Amino acid sequence: MIVAQRKPMDEIRGFLDRYSRVLVLGCGGCVTVCNAGGEREVGTLVSVLKLSGISEVEQGTIERQCDAEFFEEIRALGESCEAILSMACGAGVQMAARIFPDKPVFPGLNTQGMALNEGAGEWTEACLGCGDCKLGIFGGVCPMTQCSKSLCNGPCGGSENGKCEVDPETVECGWQKIYDRLARIGRLDVLETVEEPRDWSKTHDGRPRHIIRQDLAEEGFSSNE
Amino acid sequence: MSKEAATDLCSPVSPGTVGVLLCGCHGTMGGPGGLDAVHAALASDPDVAAVLSCPDLCSAQGIEDAATKLAAASCDRAVLAGCKAMESFLPGQGTAQVGLADGCSALAMIRDVCGQVSEGGQVWSERAIEVTRNAVRRVLAQREIESLKLPVIPAVMVLGGGQAAAMGVLALAEAGRDVHWVVAGADPEADTLSEFGRFLRRTFSQVDCLGCGEPDEESRTVRQAQAHPRVTMHTNAMLSWCCGQAGHFEVALTVGEGQDVVPVGALVASLTDLAMLPVDGASAHERTSMTDLLGLVRQLDEGTIPKGRIALVLDADREQGRLANMLSLAAARFLVEAGASCVRVYCRHVRVAGKHLEALYRSARAAGVEFVRHDGDLSISSTAEGSQIVATDAQLGCVLDYSVDLVVQAGIAPMLPEGTPLVSLLNRTGRSTLGPASRNVWFQPHMTNRPGIFVVGADGSDLDLGRVDSDVGQAVADSEALLGDGAYICADDAADIDPEKCVACLTCIRICPHKAIDFDSEKESAVTSKIACRRCGVCAAECPARAIQLPRYTDAELDAELEQHSEIAVFACANSAAPAAASAIRVGWGAKAAVQVIPVPCAGKVDSRHILMALERGAKHVFVLGCNPESCQYIDGASRARTRTAELKELLGQAGLDAGRVHWGALISGEQERFLAMVHEVALSLETETDPERSMTAGVNAQ
């Protein structure tokens, strides 16, 4: 799931202080689940913004901001506002900007990425969305996120007692986890194979990724074909 | 359409017809400044169908008569406007009998704001009208609360051997309850607690330390319980998993290779997973010069009696509980009498004020046991011939350095390790063996965070074996109250989760202090157990999708309440701050600022949005007042409220607003002075800030 955190209040106020009527738009998807941008958080933020002097603050929370169709129910409301603060992940904010091309759209959250939920109110980053998943090789532990340096051919010299030199107090060595896990499933032999340098074109570095599923995509829809 | 429209905050309720019962205080409240004005104003209110001025609203009969009249005037909801004396009538008790909707009534406290009493004339009457209208709005937002009769499984499972378990099994069976008794071994008597019990009895028989008469009584209870026709024994069985809620547990037992799933309505745990303090590192058990209390008791039972110099170290960082203290004292005395050359007990603050404990302590001293009360850490190191203990004597201040042949770590670990049966049963880690909430005044020793699961014996907070009897009695009584004749009767006012709005984030399931919420994969929604839910509302406050409403305290009701536009809004926990506020007001509220006390079931129910809503509507100060966090009836409701308030203050500060307008405070129900000190001071400061004439009317005119 995508996990995000509310931006610092002064940054949000900096976005909005020149407008007198704004829409705070929540998203009912991942950011509701991670307690960052759902109805409750939107309601709290709206109250604070009203108290801090923005004369009109409207609110709405739609099913998902990464799908254009869900914006229909708040389109009129959005049009009536001078600016929109989207409480979705970065994807949702961009969709909101597409839906309201003539309005300033600001992000209310800092998107942290794809993460595991460790219990109420706690998440750990687990996937970078690199586009070339190697979890099958690394025993189900992702070196891109679990190793502070995203190393793919074993640990660096900074791994000591299972801890990472980046912060030996709190950060565990991802490669220790990979080793332990492979040892547990009896596949340490995997580590003898040298992992070729990554093909970064499969990742963001190539271009903005565009995913098409031919059997679903409408004909003529994809401009990149 | 937006989900956010303010009127959509909870599921729509069918608006009823509201009548107001206005206290006439036996005819003393008439006149232009008194209730006549209030009566006239309410009678012309379109939301109010009938207003009855009643001579007597402070007796049950008076209220019943008045309510019958209201019902005759085709009202099904009532607002009682008067004083605190009518409170026992609420909420909804008996209203159905006189034709009013159950749960749909509210109290408007106008006694302190009506003209006759407060000598404020017209302004105060206006305030009384405002308060009553507010109660009308709240009653209109209420949902009718029905009474439910929920089927429950009329059987109880008792987990664990030992005396407490046997007593529980026997008492439940004799009360006519089907009992499943689960013991780890072949015999209920073969477990740690039984061993401890027998040891105490054997080494200290002259003091009746178990609270029972004859030495073999324990054994007799076990045999009687085993033989009872209502008891099903599950021997050599281990708890594997437990799911479900009070009234409907499914407990899986591992028996040999197989698994039995037993449905029961309640569980009584007398588990023997007492965790001993680790003995100085991992290899310690191999070291002959060290052992733990259980090891010592076993050695003594087997007749292997250590001689020489022996040190018993009670872990005195924490309160150990009486079982550890008793066993240590009894063992120390026994060792001296059996010929040990020197026995020392190291401790910091061992409490000996307890039934039998003091006698035991004195007799141990008389027998020649030495006690070392030390300050700071104690260091134990191994030497060629045994161990070396270095400690600083608390009285003399000097360092004591002794060699001993055997060190007994006599402490019982305060935390149960994860994965032990009790921890998995209670679905809550990090609790002490000294009970789920040993310092919490709301909890009796047999109670746990989970309704329907009780603990007795050494896993309960009371390790005094002499009191096992009363704990067992309580656990049995509570099981009986829960399971009754196979049905549990309760009001339909448990936290209500709207499956359409639930986003399956699991927040409520994870934070419910009573673990009363489960995920229903068919409904694709979290669902509350109406039996296990304690109606604290902590889940409703945290739900990120606003899918949870607590009846009587829904967003719509609190919203209606906040329509009152008071200068000071006080969200008051019903267990502490609300009664404190009520008595503060009774003894005389001196401040003229409009203070509105909004009762909530727990401070943990108060969501930041409600605090902000109060500020938005003109409140100059908002208080969230709850119980002391270590004594919250709902375990962590108050601490959540405290953290939430602190975070909101930070947010307000970041937004350039005055965080000092939001206050958190903890108090107990008797602390009316504390309530006054917190709220009154702020109220008085408001008066000095503004023109006194204005501050009197500010509450009324703010809108």
Q: Tell me: pLDDT of A108 over 90.
A: yes
Which among B601, B675, B594 has a CA at the least distance from the CA of B637?
B601
Q: Could you give the percent of chain B with pLDDT greater than 90? A: 31
Q: Identify from B1, B4, B9 which residue to disrupt to test chain A contact, counting A C-beta atoms within 10 A and taking the largest count.
A: B4
B98-130 confidence digits (pLDDT tens) = 567 766 777 777 766 665 555 555 666 777 888
* Chain A residues with CB-CB distance to B503 below 8 A: 28-29, 32-33, 38
For residue B421, cis peptide bond before it (omega within 30 degrees of 0): no
CATH class of B156-273+415-487: alpha beta
**Architecture in CATH of B494-549:** 2-Layer Sandwich (3.30)
- The rounded distance, in Å, linking the Cα atoms of B360 and B354 is 10
Domain boundaries, chain A: 2-112, 131-225
Confidence check: pLDDT of B379 > 60 = yes
Tell me the per-residue pLDDT of B204-235, one tens digit each, with 9 for 90 and over. Answer: 655 444 444 455 666 788 889 999 999 999 99
DSSP character string of B13-67: -----EEEEEE-TTTT--STTTHHHHHHHHHT-TTEEEEEEES--SSHHHHHHHH
Q: Which residues of A touch B506 (CB under 8 A)?
A: 117, 120
Question: Could you check whether B494-549 and B562-703 share the same CATH topology?
Answer: no
User: Which of A28, A47, A120 faces B510 most closely, judged by CB atoms?
Assistant: A120
Instruction: List residues bridging with B53 in a β-sheet.
Output: B22
Reported confidence tier of residue A83, pLDDT bands at 50, 70, 90: very high
Q: What pLDDT does residue B93 have?
A: 46
CATH fold of B562-703 reads: Rossmann fold (3.40.50)
Residue B554, pLDDT > 80, answer: yes
Q: What is the pLDDT of residue A101?
A: 97
* Domain B276-411 homologous superfamily, CATH: FAD/NAD(P)-binding domain (3.50.50.60)
Q: What is the pLDDT of residue B439?
A: 66
d(CA A113, nearest CA chain B) in Å:
17
Among the ranges given (A130-139, B91-100, B266-275), the one the predictor scored with the smallest mean pLDDT: B91-100
User: For residue A40, is pLDDT > 90?
Assistant: yes
What pLDDT, on a 0 to 100 scale, did the predictor assign at position B225? 92
Paired tokens of B200: 């105490």
Kindly state the tokens that stand for B404: 């001993």
B628 vs B318, residue with greater confidence: B628
Of residues B334 and B614, more confidence is placed in B614
Say yes or no: B507 contacts chain A, CB-CB below 8 A.
yes
- Tell me, yes or no, if B3 comes closer than 8 A to chain A by beta carbon: yes
CATH architecture of A2-112: 3-Layer(aba) Sandwich (3.40)
* pLDDT confidence tier of residue B283, bands split at 50, 70 and 90: very low
Q: Where are the domains of chain B?
A: 13-146, 156-273+415-487, 276-411, 494-549, 562-703
d(CA B426, CA B173): 24
Residue B460 pLDDT more than 70? no
Q: CA-CA distances (angstroms) from residue A138 to A113, A141, A152, A187? A: 21, 6, 9, 10
Is B544's CB within 8 Å of A52's CB? no
pLDDT band at B385 (very low <50, low <70, confident <90, very high): confident
> B643 and chain A: CB distance < 8 Å anywhere?
no
Is A39 within 8 Å of B503 when comparing Cβ atoms? no
Residue type, position B553, single letter: Y
The ipTM of this complex is 0.89
How distant is the Cα of A192 from the closest Cα of chain B, in angstroms?
35
Q: Which residue has the higher pLDDT, B161 or B591?
A: B161
A 56-95: CB under 8 A from B: 59-61, 73-74, 77
Average pLDDT, chain B: 79
The answer to whether A5 contacts chain B (CB < 8 Å) is no
Fold of the B13-146 domain = Rossmann fold (3.40.50)
To probe the interface with A, which of B505, B616, B622 has the most A CB atoms within 10 Å? B505
Q: Match 């809620």 to its residue by tokens.
A: B245
Instruction: Please indicate whether residue A21 or residue B195 has the higher confidence score (pLDDT).
Output: A21
| Whole-number Å distance between alpha carbons of B599 and A87 | 32
Work out the average pLDDT over B159-174.
88
Which B residues in the span 180-209 are in contact with A, Cβ-Cβ below 8 Å?
none
Residue predicted with more confidence, B681 or A98: A98
Q: Is the pLDDT of residue B646 over 80?
A: yes
Asked if B655 reaches chain A (Cβ–Cβ under 8 Å), the answer is yes
* pLDDT tens by residue, B124-156: 677 788 888 888 888 888 888 888 999 999 999
- What's this model's pTM, rounded to 2 decimal places? 0.82
Q: What angle do CA B568, B569, B571 make, to 5 degrees?
A: 145
**Of residues B431 and A172, which shows the higher confidence score?**
A172
pLDDT of residue B349: 66
Closest Cα in chain B, distance from residue A63 (Å):
10
Q: Do B3 and A39 touch (CB under 8 A)?
A: yes
Instruction: Give the model's confidence band at B350: pLDDT under 50 very low, under 70 low, under 90 confident, else very high.
Output: low
Q: Do B2 and A42 touch (CB under 8 A)?
A: no
Residue of A nearest to B9 (CA): A39
Hey, are the CB atoms on B544 and A51 less than 8 Å from each other?
no
Provide the pLDDT for residue B593: 64
Higher pLDDT, B286 or B307: B307
Asked if pLDDT for residue B275 goes beyond 60, the answer is: no
Put simply, whether B562 touches A (Cβ < 8 Å) is: no
pLDDT at B365 over 50: yes
pLDDT for the residue numbered B303: 79
At residue B698, the pLDDT reads 36
What pLDDT does B406 receive?
Answer: 85
Closest CA to B197 of B343, B326, B367: B326
Task: Tell which wins on pLDDT, B182 or B216.
Answer: B182
Residue B455 scores a pLDDT above 60: yes
DSSP A109-178: EEEEEEEEE-STT-EEEEE---SS--TTTTTT--HHHHSTT--SSS--TTEETTEETT-TTTPBPHHHHH
Q: Is B544 close to A32, i.e. CB distance below 8 A?
A: yes
Mean pLDDT calculated for residue range B435-443: 65
What confidence tier does A91 reach under pLDDT thresholds 50, 70, 90?
very high
pLDDT at B214: 53
The Cα–Cα gap between A180 and B471 comes to: 47
Q: Please state, as a whole number, how many other Cβ atoms lie within 10 Å of the Cβ of residue B560.
A: 21
Looking at residue B31, its pLDDT comes to 57
Question: What tokens appear for B646 in the block?
Answer: 């602190």
User: Helices B692-701 and B681-689 sit at what angle, rounded to 10 degrees?
Assistant: 110
